[in-house]
Amino acid sequence: MTVHKGAAGYDELSRAAQQWRCELPEDALAGRNILVTGAGDGIGAAAARTFACFGANVILLGRSRGKLEQVFDWIEGNTATQAVIVPCDLEHLNSDATAALHDSIADTYGDLHGLLHNASRLGPRVPLAHYPIEEWQRVMQTNVTAPFVLTQALFDLLDAPAYSCVINTSSGVGRQGRAYWGAYSVSKFATEGFSEILADETETAGRIHVFSVNPGGTRTTMRAAAYPAEDPQTLPVAEQHMDLYVYLMRGPRNGANLPATGTHIEARDWQG
């Protein structure tokens, strides 16, 4: 499997790429500008590094400046792309912050070709009858309201290129409710609805393509918090899903057979 030369310093990606389900040229994302939320850890960090390896300029958005700086330093040291850090707590996202982000992206990059809504808050695993209202509001703000606000604020930048891609991170509990998953499950049902509505509203123009992706069980900090008794070594690392993410962000180059906009994709079942 061919990957960008920057992956030579990314052992997890190099190993995972040997099992990828589609061929991706090393310049698959060259010239593309992609914003990743939750870019400091887990799937977000893996996506940010991978996108940069394939040539994309990545806007790294997350709560922890220290974690973002680690990802930024790796990208700077291993790729020839232009990354920027945007420290932002999505629980406190407001119109001033999104306006400033919009103007910064427009001034630095011009267009925006991709938006990966990856940041999520798990919340407590308790019955609804005992679910803390403040925690419910925090989960819904991070997982539902913030992606809407960001997408709306950046819509004109996404609508400018011939192809742009919005990926909303979903979950199995966003398709089938499960006891004790509370606000997280409800937020992922909302994510599915948000994806379908946005896809339907943009389908005619045909420039913005929207997908919801369920990564499934993946070796991340959030997964460990949700399933503390689970052996993480039995789970795939985030890099094993990155062929799907690059494929969607790349778009219809060289006749790629993309899923229809609005499609819900199970990462483990996807075949490129």
**Burial status of residue 215 (CB atoms within 10 A of its CB: 0-12, 13-18, 19 or more):** buried
Rounded Cα distance between 101 and 61, Å, is 10
To which H or E segment does residue 13 belong? Answer: helix 11-17
Any catalytic annotation for residue 163?
no
Residue 156 to residues 34, 43, 208, 244: CA-CA distances in angstroms? 14, 26, 10, 25
Q: Report d(CA 9, CA 249) in Å as an integer.
A: 22
φ and ψ at 201, to 5 degrees? -75, -20
Cβ atoms within 10 Å, residue 21: 12
CB 201 within 8 A of CB 145: no
Task: Quote the distance between the C-alpha of residue 89 and its chain's center.
Answer: 16
Residue of 131, 184, 245, 247 marked catalytic: 184
| Residues forming the active site | 184
